[in-house]
Structure 1
Amino acid sequence: MTKTQLYIIIIIVALFGLGWLGLSDPGSDSSNLPQSIGDPLELVVVKNTNDFDAEIYSTLKTLIGVDIGPSPQPEKLLSIMQVDLEKFKGVLQRHQNLLFVEKSDTFSIQFKYDVFAENQLIILLQVSSGEDLIARDKELLGVVKKIKETEMARLSQKFKKHESQVLSNQIDVRHGLLINVPKDFFIAYKDSNITWLRRETSKISQGLLIANSHSLHHSDFLKLKYSDTMAVDVAFDAVDSIITEHILGPLPNSYMMLERSLPTHINAPESGSHIKIQSLWRMENDFMGGVFQAYFFERGPLVYTYLYAPGEKKAIPLLQLESLLQNSFKNYIVQKK
């Protein structure tokens, strides 16, 4: 074993083995650490080939390699890079998401912040074998969830630093939602009921539309949680009634509408604050299309986000749109209480 390997193992054992179990305090002092690096949703898996062969790391990559949901092309949520322990040094230690696998008779997943760099998430996975890993597939999804939640928190902080206070205040007054709108978004349309924001780059287009008067009835909201077919149709009708009128395409008589013949993912968080639907939209009388996510509150506005990114990866732009809404969901839960 090299000195570098020994050094890293001592750090991991000290942090995770001596009382640092579970989620540690993210507010601990990290002022002396360098800033973490890496793109959102990147994960570096540090391989200890002394304990495990390559097969277990291949299995791990498969088990945490969930997709982003309905999309024009299949795409994984995480971008996973593997590096051998002896090569894990220098800038690699500063990566914002790191995962270590340790051989143990007892399965566990532990988290720690800010070990080698500031604003860093460290995951220690303890497992006995590849068979043990496969048997714990559902628990491993918690790793994916933690990474996504951490990334959204990071993005939310960035949005606050580059917020357009004017746009954020308008949305708060008009719709009662707390959204830290970045300065590179602009208003495409607004009236007393609707706000439509857009962000345009040379490669992608992102949109956020909020409508006050399109909440679901209580019975439809409850049915939608369980993917009731009729409730899904009602939800799609609510969205189409807004976007077909307001989100128009570049060609004459072209307008956005939802694609109803493709798979639809429905997610109802444990908080019960909202229900999220993800599927695809298309531009009627044109050849444009992309991913949408619609959020329904039991008593609140309809929130609709969409992405147009032909030929580009979708995971990060979708995460950006979802991160915009995190404070709104938290605030809605507080208001319900």
Structure 2
Amino acid sequence: MKKTIGFFFQLLLLIGLSFTVLSCRHEGKTMKPSSTGKPSEIVVVSENNLWKSSAGDSIRAFFSRPVPGLPQPEPFYKLVQIKEDEFGRLLKIHRNVLIITIDSALAKPQAELRRDIWASPQRVVKISSPTIEGIKEIFAERSSEILNLYDNAEIERLQALYSKSLNLKASESIKKVFNLDMNIPADYYVAVQKDNFIWLRRETNVMSQGLLIYSYPYTDTVAFNPLKIKSVRNQFTQLFIPGPSDSSYMVIADEFIIPQSRTITLKEEPAIEMRGLWEVRKDFMGGPFINYTFVDKKNNLVIGLDGYVYAPNEPKYDYLKQVQAILLSFKFTEN
């Protein structure tokens, strides 16, 4: 009898320990520390000689390129290089990590793109190769994919932050007018609302951010022509976005810098992304904007989602990325 009781006691203890281990493993997936680091920053883990080589040159040149559509040159990402033996616990939880290493045991170069290894949210890229030339080749081959990985992560972080405090009334107005669900942060307010146009603003002591949403009937694919996109945006801003002086208004500034456009996919539908500069006619205000134009097939409407920044004497790329994150939070309503 005592042996039977002892056996069942041991069995229950073993089962309890098993559940504890499984629970800890499960919790380990969700209990990773929050990532750290500044926006638009990447920690590069590389030995000094490798970072000073032509491979390091090509990586620095790629990420330090000026972002299109800004009034002053700003890089896509700031790179902070450290050696492998300096890559300790504190730096492993950085939001963006790029590891570059020479590995003579490899048969060919390889690039690994991972997420949430040591922290959350986090993006980690590891590029390995038996030679320096191999690192250059694999990076050139996958550089656009790597940039998108980091960019999308920055957008996701901002969207998660904004979702904690929303202007529900503004979101409801957008849903009612455009049949779109969009998360509008609480510090934005509706400045103008018309039947097919909404202007939302955020004002601080050092800068202004604005969101424009507008629509018009879809007739043909000319809606995706950059000249058409420019013309429509100018029509709406001339009507509804006044400047500080009498008869002044916002327009696209393209006398010296032509807006850049590219075809992308949004919510599984084709769209045009346009980046450029805006100005206020008859005044001295201006800054960068980003615009997304696509078709709401269900309602046969062209939708324009637009964000702009006014921040004199301040870097503007991170501010522009903030309005971009808000615009890209949109979803088509199911009703």
TM bin, normalised by shorter chain, reads 0.7 to 0.9
The 3 A distance-change label for structure 1 pair 69 and 241 is: same
Identity %: 25
2:172 to 169, 172, 194: 169
* Superimposed CA distance per residue, residues 100-135 of structure 1 (whole angstroms, 9 cap, x where no aligned partner): 112244222212222222322211112343433443
Q: How far does the alpha carbon of each residue in 1:54-73 deviate from its partner, in whole angstroms, 9 at most, with x for none?
A: 22323311123343212111
Structure 1 CA distance, aligned partners of 2:115 and 2:226? 40
Q: Corresponding residue for 1:285? A: 282
Gaps of 5+ in 2: 1-25, 296-300
- Greater Cα shift, 162-171 or 84-93: 84-93
Secondary structure of the residue aligned to 2:154 is helix
In the other structure, the counterpart of 2:315 is 313
Contact kept, 8 Å, 2:305 with 2:327, in 1: the verdict is no
**What is the distance in 2 between the residues matched to 1:160 and 1:166?**
14
Query: Which moved further from structure 2: 152-161 or 119-128?
Result: 119-128
Give the secondary structure class of the aligned counterpart of 1:275: strand
Cα displacement (A) at 1:34: 2.1
Whether 2:96 is the aligned partner of 1:97: answer: yes
Size of the aligned set, in residue pairs, is 296
Q: Quick one: which of 151, 160, 174 aligns to 1:157?
A: 160
Which residue, out of 109, 119, 122, partners 1:120?
Answer: 122
1:183: how far off?
A: 0.2
Q: How does 1:29-48 map to 2 (within 5 A)?
A: 29-48=28-47
Cα deviations across residues 129-160 of structure 1 (Å, max 9, x unaligned)? 34334434241121111000111111111111
Provide the alpha-carbon RMSD of the alignment. 2.2
Structure 1 residues 147 and 306, CA, compared in 2 at 3 Å: closer, same or farther?
Answer: same
Is residue 306–residue 327 contact of structure 2 (8 Å, CA) maintained in 1?
Answer: no
Q: Which residue of 2 aligns with 1:14?
A: none
1:296 matched to 2:293? The reply is yes
1:28 to 1:153, Cα distance in 2 relative to 1, 3 A: farther
Q: Which has the higher strand share?
A: 2
Kept in 1, the 8 Å contact 2:183–2:326? The answer is: yes
Is 1:189 the counterpart of 2:188 in the alignment? no
- Is 1:109 matched with 2:100? no
TM-score using structure 1 length: 0.81
User: Which of 260, 269, 288 is residue 264 of structure 2 equivalent to?
Assistant: 269
Structure with max Cα Rg:
2
- Displaced runs of 4+ in structure 1, greater than 6 A? none
The 2-side partners of 1:133 and 1:190 are apart by 52
* CA drift at 1:90: 4.3
String of CA shifts for 1:296-315, please: whole Å, max 9, x gaps. Answer: 11333222211111121222
1:326 corresponds in structure 2 to 328
Cα drift, residue 189 of structure 1: 0.8
Q: What amino acid maps onto 1:172 in structure 2? A: K
- Aligned equivalent of 1:18: none
